[in-house]
């Protein structure tokens, strides 16, 4: 039981490039979330999903897109990377009440 896994762990992007952050969970959870965490700050919700085929915006969705074709996978897409997207990105899935977090992706845009 791996829980929530994320790839890659680290990535450096140039301004204007695109990339997809991968997130997979093996706990059969319906609810999944993407957060970003800037230095010294709490977590801000980017997008969330309540089940396969259903996604919705969180607090800070601009510049990102998501899809949820299966229960297990919830990828986050950055289309045109900007320096403001430099952050640590966490994916989470929800159990009975608490959320389980993946190890994070540290992204730098230069």
Partner 1 sequence: GQNIDQPTEMTATEGAIVQINCTYQTSGFNGLFWYQQHAGEAPTFLSYNVLDGLEEKGRFSSFLSRSKGYSYLLLKELQMKDSASYLCAVRVPGNTGKLIFGQGTTLQVKP
Report which of 92, 97, 42 is spatially closest to residue 105, judged by C-alpha positions: 92
Is 94 among the residues that bind partner 1 (CB under 8 A)? yes
Is 28 among the residues that bind partner 1 (CB under 8 A)? no
Is 33 among the residues that bind partner 1 (CB under 8 A)? yes
Query: Which positions from 37 through 66 interact with partner 1, judged by CB under 8 A?
Result: 40-45, 48, 50, 56, 58
By the criterion CB under 8 A, which residues form the site for partner 1?
A: 31, 33, 40-45, 48, 50, 56, 58, 90, 94, 97-104
């Amino acid at each position: 039981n791996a829980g929530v896994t994320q790839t890659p762990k680290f990535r450096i992007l140039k301004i204007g490039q695109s990339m997809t952050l991968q997130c997979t969970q093996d706990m059969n959870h319906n609810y999944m979330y993407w957060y970003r965490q800037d230095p010294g700050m709490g977590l801000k919700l980017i997008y969330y999903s309540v089940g396969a085929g259903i996604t919705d915006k969180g607090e800070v969705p601009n510049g990102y897109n998501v899809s949820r074709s299966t229960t297990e996978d919830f990828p986050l897409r950055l289309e045109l990377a900007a320096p403001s997207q430099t952050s640590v990105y966490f994916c989470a899935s929800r159990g009975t009440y608490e959320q389980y977090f993946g190890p994070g992706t540290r992204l730098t845009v230069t």
